[in-house]
Structure 1
Amino acid sequence: MTSAPFTYQKSKVIQALRYHFISRPEIKVMMLVVNGFAILSAVLFYFKVVSPLAFLISSILWIVLMILFWFLLPQVIYKQTQTFKDSFSAVLGPQQFAIENARGHKGWDWATFSTWMESPHFFHLYFNPRSFFIIPKDAFVGDEEHEARKIFAAKIVKS
């Protein structure tokens, strides 16, 4: 059983939330479509097939989406989630994953998680595509990070 105390750092959490949003298939498809639309409108504008207004609208749409997914959405989620302002200890046991702090303890069987992902500073443990828990990698000292990675790979069967 591995126990790893941790707190969240705002800048790292924001980056982890960006990874979450950008990794979602529906967001990837939407970004590809918007980027394709922006490139197509630029090419059509260059060849004077469309008016400058069409090119301007596609550019504004692209900029708004980038601002939304890269800045606004992660900030809003961070501000609304009290979890990121608390300190915890993650417990990786043989039967379950648990978090605990001075106010209590909550555990989940490993089968509760549908998948997991790794970003530069966090392990993302997904209950479903929209609900997840992040654990900072710096909570694990030395080889514990590698051991945690092995536990996640063995216990969380990707669906």
Structure 2
Amino acid sequence: MQHSFQYDKRKVLQALRYHFIQRPEIRVLIILVNVFAIVSAVLFYMQKIRPEPFLLGSLIWLLMVAAFWFILPNTIYRRSSTFKDRFIAFFGDQEMVLENERGYINWGWGKFSKWFESPHFFHLYFDDKSFFLVPKEGMNETFRHELRSLLRQKIDQKA
């Protein structure tokens, strides 16, 4: 199977957001900040605390949203030249081959630890923090189905 693609900035930023939200430590952080914000809002409403803890919780929540939704994805996008290239990906029984005008790389399926699917991409993880995005744009439904089957078969764990 062969797929030619290049990246769309808006879709890549959304995929990076999915990556961050999938991280267990970030999920725990989001839950803790939300609990703190809710508890401080309730205590402030009941006049048990001054407004500073409530404002602090709100500020932390806003900073966290800005970091995970805007700052981190944009920083990663700007620093990575990968998102500006055109690629051809070959999906075989033994490996995935990725090619661009500068060369190619072979990744045996054993290199990948897990994968998951978001609305616009297949996320192929090498480890918890290193991954490669395969855009769905340009794939017909049959190709997507075949790729899903191949990923299920070749990569042990689905994220």
For the aligned pair, the TM-score class normalised by the smaller chain equals: over 0.9
Q: Which residue of 2 aligns with 1:84?
A: 83
* Aligned mates of 2:12, 2:108 — CA distance in 1: 25
SS state at 1:36 partner: helix
| Superposition deviation, residue 142 in structure 1 | 4.0
C-alpha distance in 1 between matches for 2:97 and 2:128: 20
Q: What pairs with 1:26-41 in structure 2 (closer than 5 Å)?
A: 26-41=25-40
Match of 2:157 in 1: 158
Cα offsets for 1:44-103 (capped at 9, x unmatched): 101111110111111000000001101111000000000000000111011001210121
Quote the Cα distance in structure 2 between the aligned partners of 1:39 and 1:99.
47
Identity percentage of aligned residues: 49
Looking at structure 2, the residues matched to 25 and 76 of structure 1 have their Cα atoms a distance apart, in angstroms, of 21
- What TM-score does the superposition give when structure 1 sets the normalisation length? 0.97
Measured in 2, the distance between the counterparts of 1:137 and 1:26 equals 28
Q: Please give the per-residue CA displacement for 1:11-54, whole angstroms capped at 9, x wherever unaligned.
A: 00000000000011110000000000000000010111111011
TM-score (normalizing by structure 2) = 0.97
Give the 4+ runs in structure 1 shifted more than 4 A.
none
Q: Deviations over 1:108-147 (max 9, x none)?
A: 1101100001000000000001000000011423411111
What secondary structure sits across from 2:126 in the alignment?
Answer: strand
Q: Distance in 1 between matches of 2:59 and 2:77?
A: 26
Counterpart amino acid of 1:112? Answer: K
SS in 1 for 2:32: helix
Aligned length: 158
Report the more deviating stretch, 40-49 or 136-145. 136-145
Distance 2:116 2:97 in 1: 18
Q: Report the AA paired with residue 134 of structure 1.
A: L
Match of 1:127 in 2: 126
Name the aligned partner's letter for residue 93 of structure 2.
P
User: Distance in 1 between the 2:107 and 2:98 partners?
Assistant: 9
Matched residue SS, 1:128:
coil
Question: What does residue 6 of structure 1 align with?
Answer: 5
Equivalent residue letter for 2:57: S
**Equivalent residues in 2 for 1:1-159 (5 A)?**
2-158=1-157
Secondary structure, aligned partner of 1:89: strand
The gaps in structure 1 that reach 5 residues or longer are: none
Amino acid at match of 1:25: P
